[in-house]
Chain A
Amino acid sequence: MAAGVIGAFTAVLRRELRLAARARAEWLMPPLFFVIVVTLFGLGAKPNDPLLADFAPAILWVGALLAALLTLERLFRADYEDGTLEQIFIAPAPAIAAIAAKLSAHWLLTGLPLALLAAPLAAALGFPSAALPALTAGLALGTPVLSLIGGFAAALTVGLPRAGVLLPLLVLPLVTPIVIFGAGAARAAQSGLPADAPLYFLAAVLVLGLTLLPWATTAALRNAFE
């Protein structure tokens, strides 16, 4: 049984990475979108405006959230439409293994690049370099939660024809705590205060999400066949 679970997890993960390598535009889109949005904030503000550094945590967090939403709609839709999802649910290994692999792949291909990109973009906005670790740590803890919540919402809407419009409306209200504490950690570090408390809170939300949402996502996808 355990061998089947690991086999299914690695098979799905390898397939996702292979698909990403074949359709590069798909996973290059979120980082490019992120860079463009943050750059536009810089261009829209007064030259060398010191206020931009104050707003940097909010700009970076909102930019990263919107960028990560771009690839969410496709997360399960293609597999639902071509019948792969049926094979995943029929297979002897529990479907949770395959679904967890899909969620992990979404974070690896979307959330992780965004978390890594945030530091250079923050520096460009004049964000103090001493506070960069807190910002990056916050994003590293927050983007997996976004993949989990977003994956759940994508699973709920997989059978709907125009889910692309509905998805941000479902996901964004649910991720407000992530933005509050993620940007809060960055702001605390910016003003020289300890950022541990908001980071611990983000870690707690991540653990909660990891223990609940993969199962909820699997149940929502199974429901899509009804």
Chain B
Amino acid sequence: MSLIAVENLAVARGGRTLLRGLDLAVQAGEVLHLRGGNGAGKTSLLEVLCGLRVPLEGAFRQRPEPQALHWLGHKNALNLALTPLENLGFWCGLNSVAEDALLPVLQRLGIERLRHRPCRTLSAGQKRRCALARLLLAPRPLWLLDEPLDGLDAQGLGLFAQLLAEHLGRGGAAIVTSHQPLPPGVPGVREWQLA
């Protein structure tokens, strides 16, 4: 069963049509790796799929509920004056998710020692790990990730592969944009080249 499916989709940004006639479906246990040069429309397509942007034409054959998808944009959605714990606690409140999972999740991502530091003092990779922590705070079947590997170190890449593989094992799916190849150890990767 597909978790998300669209047909004949056209995506525009700033009055320019970037993609046209796109048919796309993602099944449980599958990772769709979107590739394409700068300006090919990868981010705009993800924004349409998560519901932030209205498609120029086309329709959803299968549209996920808001509580069934995670969106991780290229912006981390962290306020720099707040600590990781406060930022993620706010996200839990916004989504009505229990906050008890916060500490184990931060441990899993290796940032539990940073949890009381303001985010402005964190490195780009550390902030990316904080943003990735949201994926574990609430179990949701579909992950839409825009350049999730940005700023991650070698150990972070391994951790990301592990998290993604576990997510797929539980019957989840993901659509990922990335300029670099996905780290090894992720099963079921399907590459999709945007013209």
- Give chain A's interface residues, CB within 8 Å of chain B: 3-4, 7-8, 10-12, 14-15, 18-19, 22-23, 78-79, 81-84, 86-93, 98, 225-226
Which DSSP category, helix, strand, loop or mixed, fits chain A's interface? helix
State whether the Cβ of B93 lies closer than 8 Å to any Cβ in chain A: yes
The residue in chain B whose Cβ has the minimal distance to the Cβ of A4 is B96
CB-based contact B73/A86 at 8 Å:
yes
- Give chain B's interface residues, CB within 8 Å of chain A: 47, 50-54, 65-67, 69, 71, 73, 75-82, 86, 90-96
CB-based contact B90/A86 at 8 Å:
no
B178 to chain A, nearest CB (A): 18
CB-based contact A83/B82 at 8 Å:
no
Chain B residues near A82 (CB-CB < 8 A): 75-80
The residue in chain B whose Cβ has the minimal distance to the Cβ of A22 is B81
CB-based contact A98/B94 at 8 Å:
yes
CB-based contact B67/A86 at 8 Å:
no
- Please tell me which one of the listed residues A10, A19, A83, A226 contacts residue B75 in the complex, with CB atoms under 8 A apart: A83
Assuming A83-B76, A86-B71, A87-B71, is B94 touching A225 (CB within 8 A)?
A: no
Assuming A86-B71, A90-B66, A225-B47, is B81 touching A8 (CB within 8 A)?
A: no
A84 to chain B, nearest CB (A): 5
Complex: how many Å from CA A83 to CA B43? 14
Which DSSP category, helix, strand, loop or mixed, fits chain B's interface? loop
Chain B residues near A19 (CB-CB < 8 A): 79, 81-82
CB-based contact A86/B94 at 8 Å:
no
B124 to chain A, nearest CB (A): 13
Complex: how many Å from CA A91 to CA B92? 10
- List 12 interface pairs A-B (beta carbons < 8 Å), by A numbering: A11-B90, A14-B90, A18-B86, A19-B79, A19-B81, A83-B75, A83-B77, A86-B73, A86-B77, A87-B91, A90-B66, A93-B96
- Please tell me which one of the listed residues B52, B78, B81 contacts residue A89 in the complex, with CB atoms under 8 A apart: B52
Complex: how many Å from CA A11 to CA B86? 10
Complex: how many Å from CA A206 to CA B69? 38
Assuming A8-B93, A10-B93, is B71 touching A18 (CB within 8 A)?
A: no
The residue in chain A whose Cβ has the minimal distance to the Cβ of B70 is A90
Chain B residues near A7 (CB-CB < 8 A): 93-94, 96
Complex: how many Å from CA A93 to CA B67? 9
CB-based contact A15/B77 at 8 Å:
no
Complex: how many Å from CA A122 to CA B75? 47
B107 to chain A, nearest CB (A): 23
B155 to chain A, nearest CB (A): 25
Nearest 7 pairs between A and B by C-beta? A11-B93, A83-B75, A83-B77, A92-B66, A92-B67, A7-B96, A15-B90
Assuming A82-B75, A92-B66, A225-B53, is B94 touching A18 (CB within 8 A)?
A: no
